[in-house]
C-alpha cells in the first residue's frame, strides 16, 4: 500500500505530549432524546444540509464533500456564507496507536431539525467516531464535533489530521456586481487558520480548541487554482471506556477579518448555548399551527416540512431576509416560488418571515422594474437573472390579499397596494396586445415557445383582479374595486368558454394560432418520441392532422402537453362544477405513485404503478419526465375546492412516499429523489390543503371573522390543530368523525371574534351547537351558523 508523505509527518508530530490538550465539553447530550430520522444506507452518497440563516454546509451523508450541483457546476456544495462560498469542505484522518484511519465513509446518518449526526462504526473494534454538527442562528459559522468513544480498557492516543480546502468565491452572477475571484491566501496564527481572498475582503477562519500543529499549507488543487488546502495535526487522549472530542469551528465573512474572527471565538466558547437556543426555537416553530392527526405519517411529514422551510432562510446583508427556493442549486430568491410558499407559511405562524420575504422580493422588483412587475430569480448578490415571468405579477397580488386575510394589517396592505395597482396596469397594457383580457407571455411552464395566452397566466390574472377588488374595497377605492371585479368576471367567463376543450375533457395548455400550435406540436412529438411514449406520439400526430385543417388566423385553445397548469382553474376555484369534475378525472391519468407529472405527455403505461428512484441513470440535470410536489399540491388544492377531500388526501399520501426517501426528514423537489433535496413550495403543497381545507380555517382578520369549513377525508378519523395565529387572536380546533357524524371543538383567545362555520348544503341533517340543536342558514349551496365565545363545540349528524 502506498503511504503518502504527510502520513510520516503525522506520525512524527504525534509524538508531542497528548496531555497538552484538555477535553472539550461535548455537544452530543443536546442531540440525545431529540426527534431524529435515520437515513438509508443506499443514500449515504447523496446530499444533506447543515442549515442556518446566515451560513449553511452541504455535503454527502457519508461525510464527504464531493463536487456537486449544476447551477455553478460542481460548486453548490461545501460551506456557503452568501453571497460568497467559504470552503469546498474538509477531510479527517486519524492515527490511533500508530494505525491510520480515514473518515470518508460514515455508515450511518441521522437528521435533526437543528443539525446532523454521522457515525463511523466500521473503523475499528476499539472505538466508534460520531460526528455532530450545527449552524447557530444568526451566525456566519458552523460547529462540527468528532466524538471518539473508546470501547477498550486502555486509553487511546489519537492524532487527527484535518485537511481543509478553502474556496472563497462569488455566488452565481457575481461578475454582474464586480465580484472577481482571487487566489486564497492562508496564514496560521493563534491556533487557527485565517484565509483571505487576494482581491476581496472575503475571509474564512477555521480551527479548534485543541492545539494544532501545521503539517502543510497552500497545497495546489489543479482544477481549482484559486483555492487553498491546509493540513493541521491535533492530538488527544481518549480514556478507557470513555470519550473525547475534537471540536472544529468554521466561520466566515464577506466584508471583514474582524467579523470572521469574532464569530469564530463566539462559537468556539459558546457552542452548547447556541445549540440549545436553536433547538428550543425550532421546537417552538412546530408549536405554532401544531397538528395532531390519526395519520401519524402525515402529521410527522408536515412537522418536518416546517423544519425544512426554516432551513431555507437566506439572510444576506445589504439584500434582506427571505426564503430561498431550494438546496443545493437554488439557494437564492424567486418571486413565484415564494408566491406559493408564503400562502402556506402564513398559516403556520411565521408572520415575520413572510413579511421579510415579501419585503425583499418587492424591494428588488421595484428597483429592477419600477412598474409593478415582480421579478422571477435573484442571486444573493442582488443580481437579477430574470426580471419576471408574466404570472408572477398577478400572483403577487393574490399573495398580498391572502396574507392580509390572516393578519388584518392595513399598514401592510397600504404598503403594497400601489405596486399591485401598477402591476395589474402593466399586466394588460404591456402583455395584452389584442385587448381580450388574456395576457400573453410565459407562465409556470418553461417550455420554449409557450408564451402565447397561457392557461395559468389567465387563471392567476383572474384571481388577481378578484382579490384586488376586495383589497380596493377595504381601502375605500370603490370605483377601482368595481373595475377590477368587472375584469375578473370577464376573464372567468373566457377561461370557462375559450380555454375549455371538450374533446379532451380538459382546459387547454394555451390559446394560440395554428402556426404557434404546429410549431409546438413538432417539438412535442420529438420529445414524446425521444422518451419512447407511443401513446403521446399517436395523440399528438392526430392533433396535428386536425390542426392543419384550421384557418390560419383563428385563435383557439389547444391541449397538447397536458401540462399540470391546466388544473389551475380548479386550484383557484374558478372552473364551473361540471367542467371541474371532468378535468379532475382527466388529471388522474397523469399521475404516478408519487404524484402529478409536470408534463403529461412524459407519462407512460407504467405511470400508475411504477415506483423507484428518479435519479437512476441521469447523467445531466433535467426536469424531463419529472413528477413534482408543486403540481401535486396544486392538484390536492383543486380536488378539495370541489368537495373531493379523499382524492386530495390520496395526493398528499403520494407525496409522502417521497418523505425521507433519500434525505431523512425531507421531500425532494422531483419525486422521489431528484433535484432540490429541500424545497420551499412543499409548504404550499401541504399547508394549503391541510390547514385551510381539511381543517377549513379561512380568516378575514380585518373583520375579526374566521370562516371555518372543514373538509375531512374519510381516512382522517380525528385530529387537532393548536395555536393558529390570526392577527392577535389564536385559535385551537379539534375534530372527531364517524361514518354518520362529525364533532368539532373550537376555542379562541378573544370571545368577540365571529366564527362562521359552514358545510355543504344537505350534508348533515342535525346541527348541535354546545349541545343544543340549531338550524343553519342556507346560503347558496352551503349551510352556515355564526357564533362567538371562547369555547364552542359542534356535533353534526348525517
pLDDT tens digits, residue range 639-651? 999 999 999 999 9
Angle (nearest 5°) at CA 367 between 363 and 372: 75
Q: What percentage of the chain has pLDDT greater than the value 70?
A: 95
Q: What is the pLDDT of residues 459-516, one digit of tens each?
A: 999 999 999 999 999 999 999 999 999 999 999 999 999 999 999 999 999 999 988 8
With beta carbons less than 8 A apart as the criterion, state whether 522 and 602 touch: no
Least-confidence region, from 35-39, 213-217, 715-719: 213-217
Using DSSP's 3-state secondary structure scheme, residue 89 falls into: strand
The whole-number pLDDT of residue 7 equals 44
The whole-number pLDDT of residue 615 equals 60
Average pLDDT, integer, range 781-786: 97
Element (H, E) at 410: helix 410-431
Provide the 8-state DSSP code for 690: I
On the question of pLDDT at 107 being above 90, the answer is yes
On the question of pLDDT at 54 being above 70, the answer is yes
Least-confidence region, from 207-211, 535-539, 581-585: 535-539
Q: Which three cell numbers stand for residue 267?
A: 462559537
Q: What percentage of the chain has pLDDT greater than the value 90?
A: 86
Least Cα distance to 392 among 369, 415, 367, 408 occurs for 369
Average per-residue pLDDT for the chain? 94
The whole-number pLDDT of residue 24 equals 78
CB atoms within 10 A of CB 535: 12
| Phi and psi at residue 719, to the nearest 5° | -175, 165
With beta carbons less than 8 A apart as the criterion, state whether 363 and 369 touch: no
On the question of pLDDT at 280 being above 60, the answer is yes
CB atoms within 10 A of CB 102: 12
Rounded to whole angstroms, how far apart are CA atoms 39 and 223? 32
Looking only at the bridges linking them, the beta strands covering 754-760 and 705-708 are parallel
Biggest CA–CA distance in the chain, Å, is 90
Q: What is the pLDDT of residues 358-411, one digit of tens each?
A: 999 999 999 999 999 999 999 999 999 999 999 999 999 999 999 999 999 999
Query: Higher-confidence residue: 267 or 445?
Result: 267
The residue whose grid cell reads 380568516 is: 699
Q: Which three cell numbers stand for residue 605?
A: 403505461
Peptide bond preceding 83 in cis form (omega within 30 of 0): yes
The model's confidence at residue 621, banded by pLDDT at 50, 70 and 90, is low
Query: Higher-confidence residue: 618 or 203?
Result: 203
The whole-number pLDDT of residue 10 equals 44
Provide the 8-state DSSP code for 266: H
With beta carbons less than 8 A apart as the criterion, state whether 235 and 18 touch: yes
Q: What is the pLDDT of residues 281-291, one digit of tens each?
A: 999 999 999 99
Q: Which three cell numbers stand for residue 214?
A: 501545521
The whole-number pLDDT of residue 97 equals 86
Q: What angle, rounded to 10 degrees, do the helices at 410-431 and 351-368 form? A: 40
The whole-number pLDDT of residue 761 equals 96
CB atoms within 10 A of CB 35: 16
Rounded to whole angstroms, how far apart are CA atoms 374 and 392? 6
pTM given for the model: 0.95
Partners of 87 in beta bridges: 79, 166
Average pLDDT, integer, range 413-422: 98
Q: Which three cell numbers stand for residue 205?
A: 477562519
Q: If you write DSSP's letter for every residue of 165-204 in order, what string do you get?
A: EEEEEEPTTGGGGT-----EEEEEETTEEEEEETTSS-EE
User: Who contacts 150 (Cβ-Cβ below 8 Å, separation ≥6)?
Assistant: 126, 127, 156, 238, 239, 240, 241, 242, 243, 244
Rounded to whole angstroms, how far apart are CA atoms 634 and 628? 10
Distance of CA 324 to the CA centre of its chain: 8
Q: Which three cell numbers stand for residue 634?
A: 396544486
With beta carbons less than 8 A apart as the criterion, state whether 722 and 710 touch: no
Using DSSP's 3-state secondary structure scheme, residue 727 falls into: coil
With beta carbons less than 8 A apart as the criterion, state whether 664 and 111 touch: yes
- Exposed/middle/buried for 185, CB within 10 Å: 0-12, 13-18, 19+? middle
Q: What angle, rounded to 10 degrees, do the helices at 455-474 and 392-407 form? A: 40
Least Cα distance to 674 among 732, 714, 630, 616 occurs for 616
Rounded to whole angstroms, how far apart are CA atoms 33 and 279? 12
Using DSSP's 3-state secondary structure scheme, residue 552 falls into: coil
The whole-number pLDDT of residue 8 equals 43
Least Cα distance to 737 among 729, 745, 726 occurs for 745
CB atoms within 10 A of CB 744: 21
Scored b (16 or more CB within 10 A) or e, 405-439 reads bbbbbeebbeebbebbbbbbebbbeebbeeebbbb
Rounded to whole angstroms, how far apart are CA atoms 742 and 125? 58
Q: What is the pLDDT of residues 570-606, one digit of tens each?
A: 999 999 999 999 999 999 999 999 999 999 988 876 5
With beta carbons less than 8 A apart as the criterion, state whether 207 and 191 touch: yes
The whole-number pLDDT of residue 18 equals 47
CB atoms within 10 A of CB 547: 16
Cα–Cα distance list, 374 to 333, 343, 397, 547 (Å): 12, 17, 10, 35
Q: Which three cell numbers stand for residue 405?
A: 386575510
CB atoms within 10 A of CB 695: 26
Using DSSP's 3-state secondary structure scheme, residue 9 falls into: helix
On the question of pLDDT at 17 being above 90, the answer is no
Looking only at the bridges linking them, the beta strands covering 313-316 and 290-293 are unpaired
With beta carbons less than 8 A apart as the criterion, state whether 109 and 117 touch: yes
Reported residue count of the chain is 798
Rounded to whole angstroms, how far apart are CA atoms 284 and 296? 20
User: Who contacts 360 (Cβ-Cβ below 8 Å, separation ≥6)?
Assistant: 319, 320, 321, 322, 333
Q: Which three cell numbers stand for residue 314?
A: 437566506
Q: Is the dihedral of CA 181, 60, 89, 110 positive or negative?
A: positive
Angle (nearest 5°) at CA 745 between 743 and 750: 155
Q: What is the pLDDT of residues 669-705, one digit of tens each?
A: 999 999 999 999 999 999 999 999 999 999 999 999 9
Provide the 8-state DSSP code for 664: T
Query: Higher-confidence residue: 534 or 415?
Result: 415
Least Cα distance to 36 among 101, 119, 95 occurs for 119
The whole-number pLDDT of residue 436 equals 96
The whole-number pLDDT of residue 11 equals 45
Least Cα distance to 637 among 310, 309, 307, 347 occurs for 347
Least-confidence region, from 341-345, 444-448, 563-567: 444-448
| Phi and psi at residue 789, to the nearest 5° | 110, 160
User: Who contacts 217 (Cβ-Cβ below 8 Å, separation ≥6)?
Assistant: 186, 188, 193, 228, 229, 230, 231
The whole-number pLDDT of residue 447 equals 74
Amino acid at each position: 500500500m502506498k503511504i503518502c508523505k504527510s502520513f510520516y509527518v503525522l506520525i512524527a508530530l504525534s509524538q508531542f505530549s497528548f496531555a497538552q490538550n484538555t477535553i472539550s465539553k461535548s455537544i452530543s447530550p443536546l442531540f440525545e432524546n431529540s426527534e431524529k430520522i435515520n437515513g438509508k444506507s443506499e443514500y449515504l452518497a447523496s446530499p444533506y444540509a447543515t442549515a442556518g440563516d446566515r451560513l449553511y454546509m452541504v455535503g454527502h451523508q457519508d461525510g464527504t464533500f464531493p463536487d456537486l450541483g449544476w447551477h455553478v457546476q460542481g460548486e453548490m456544495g461545501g460551506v456557503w456564507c452568501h453571497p460568497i462560498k467559504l470552503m469546498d469542505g474538509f477531510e479527517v484522518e486519524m492515527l490511533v496507536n500508530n494505525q491510520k484511519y480515514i473518515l470518508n465513509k460514515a455508515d450511518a446518518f441521522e437528521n435533526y431539525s437543528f443539525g446532523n449526526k454521522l457515525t463511523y462504526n466500521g473503523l475499528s473494534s476499539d472505538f466508534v467516531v460520531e460526528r455532530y454538527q450545527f449552524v447557530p442562528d444568526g451566525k456566519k459559522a458552523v460547529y462540527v464535533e468528532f466524538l471518539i468513544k473508546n470501547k477498550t480498557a486502555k486509553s487511546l492516543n489519537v492524532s487527527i489530521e484535518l485537511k481543509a480546502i478553502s474556496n472563497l468565491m462569488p455566488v452565481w452572477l457575481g461578475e454582474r456586481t464586480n465580484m472577481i475571484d482571487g487566489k486564497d491566501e492562508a496564514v496560521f496564527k493563534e491556533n487557527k487558520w485565517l484565509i483571505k481572498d487576494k482581491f476581496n475582503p472575503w475571509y474564512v477562519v477555521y480551527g479548534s480548541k485543541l492545539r494544532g500543529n501545521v503539517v502543510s499549507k497552500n497545497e495546489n488543487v489543479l482544477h481549482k487554482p484559486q483555492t487553498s488546502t491546509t493540513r493541521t495535526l491535533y492530538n488527544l487522549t481518549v480514556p478507557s471506556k470513555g470519550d473525547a472530542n475534537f471540536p472544529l469551528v468554521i466561520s466566515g465573512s464577506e466584508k471583514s477579518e474582524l467579523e470572521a474572527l469574532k464569530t469564530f471565538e463566539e462559537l468556539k466558547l459558546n457552542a452548547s448555548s447556541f445549540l440549545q437556543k436553536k433547538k428550543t426555537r425550532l421546537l417552538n416553530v412546530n408549536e405554532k399551527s401544531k397538528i395532531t392527526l390519526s395519520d401519524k405519517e402525515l402529521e410527522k411529514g408536515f412537522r418536518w416540512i416546517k423544519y425544512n422551510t426554516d432551513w431555507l432562510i437566506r439572510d444576506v446583508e445589504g439584500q434582506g431576509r427571505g426564503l430561498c427556493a431550494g438546496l443545493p442549486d437554488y439557494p437564492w430568491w424567486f418571486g413565484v416560488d415564494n408566491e406559493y410558499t408564503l400562502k402556506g407559511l402564513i398559516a403556520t405562524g411565521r408572520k415575520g418571515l413572510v413579511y421579510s420575504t415579501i419585503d425583499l422580493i418587492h424591494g428588488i422588483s421595484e428597483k429592477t422594474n419600477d412598474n409593478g412587475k415582480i421579478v422571477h430569480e435573484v442571486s444573493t448578490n442582488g443580481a437579477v437573472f430574470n426580471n419576471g415571468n408574466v404570472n408572477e405579477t398577478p400572483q403577487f397580488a393574490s399573495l398580498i390579499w391572502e396574507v392580509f386575510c390572516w393578519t388584518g394589517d392595513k399598514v401592510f396592505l397600504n404598503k403594497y397596494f400601489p405596486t399591485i395597482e401598477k402591476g395589474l396596469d402593466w399586466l394588460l397594457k404591456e402583455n395584452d396586445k389584442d385587448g381580450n383580457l388574456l395576457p400573453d407571455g410565459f407562465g409556470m411552464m418553461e417550455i420554449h415557445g409557450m408564451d402565447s395566452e397561457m392557461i395559468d397566466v389567465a387563471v392567476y390574472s383572474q384571481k388577481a383582479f378578484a382579490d384586488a377588488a376586495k383589497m380596493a374595497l377595504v381601502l375605500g377605492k370603490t370605483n377601482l374595486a368595481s373595475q377590477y371585479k368587472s375584469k375578473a368576471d370577464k376573464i372567468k367567463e373566457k377561461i370557462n368558454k375559450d380555454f375549455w376543450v371538450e374533446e379532451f375533457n380538459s382546459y387547454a395548455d394555451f390559446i394560440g394560432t395554428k402556426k404557434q400550435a404546429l410549431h409546438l406540436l413538432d417539438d412535442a412529438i420529438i420529445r414524446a418520441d425521444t422518451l419512447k411514449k407511443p401513446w403521446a406520439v399517436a395523440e399528438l400526430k392526430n392533433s396535428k392532422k386536425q390542426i392543419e385543417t384550421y384557418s390560419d388566423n383563428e385563435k383557439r385553445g389547444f391541449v397538447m402537453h397536458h401540462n399540470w397548469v391546466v388544473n389551475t382553474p380548479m386550484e383557484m376555484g374558478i372552473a364551473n362544477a361540471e367542467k371541474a369534475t371532468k378535468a379532475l378525472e382527466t388529471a388522474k391519468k397523469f399521475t404516478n405513485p408519487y404524484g402529478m407529472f409536470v408534463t403529461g405527455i412524459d407519462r407512460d403505461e407504467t405511470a400508475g404503478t411504477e415506483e423507484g428512484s428518479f435519479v437512476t441513470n441521469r447523467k445531466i440535470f433535467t426536469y424531463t419526465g419529472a413528477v413534482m410536489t408543486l403540481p401535486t399540491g396544486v392538484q390536492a388544492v383543486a380536488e378539495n375546492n370541489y368537495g373531493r377531500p379523499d382524492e386530495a388526501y390520496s395526493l398528499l399520501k403520494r407525496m409522502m412516499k417521497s418523505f425521507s426517501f433519500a434525505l431523512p426528514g425531507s421531500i425532494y423537489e422531483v419525486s422521489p429523489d431528484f433535484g432540490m433535496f429541500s424545497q420551499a413550495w412543499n409548504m404550499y403543497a401541504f399547508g394549503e390543503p391541510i390547514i385551510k381545507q381539511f381543517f377549513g380555517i379561512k380568516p378575514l382578520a380585518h373583520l375579526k371573522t374566521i370562516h371555518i369549513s372543514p373538509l375531512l377525508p374519510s381516512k382522517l378519523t380525528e385530529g387537532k390543530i393548536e395555536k393558529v395565529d390570526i392577527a392577535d387572536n389564536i385559535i385551537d380546533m379539534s375534530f372527531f368523525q364517524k361514518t354518520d357524524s362529525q364533532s368539532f371543538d373550537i376555542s379562541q383567545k378573544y370571545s368577540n371574534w365571529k366564527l362562521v362555520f359552514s358545510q355543504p348544503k344537505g350534508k348533515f341533517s342535525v346541527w348541535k351547537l354546545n349541545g343544543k340543536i340549531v338550524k343553519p342558514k342556507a346560503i347558496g349551496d352551503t349551510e352556515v351558523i355564526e357564533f362567538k365565545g371562547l369555547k364552542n363545540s359542534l356535533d353534526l349528524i348525517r
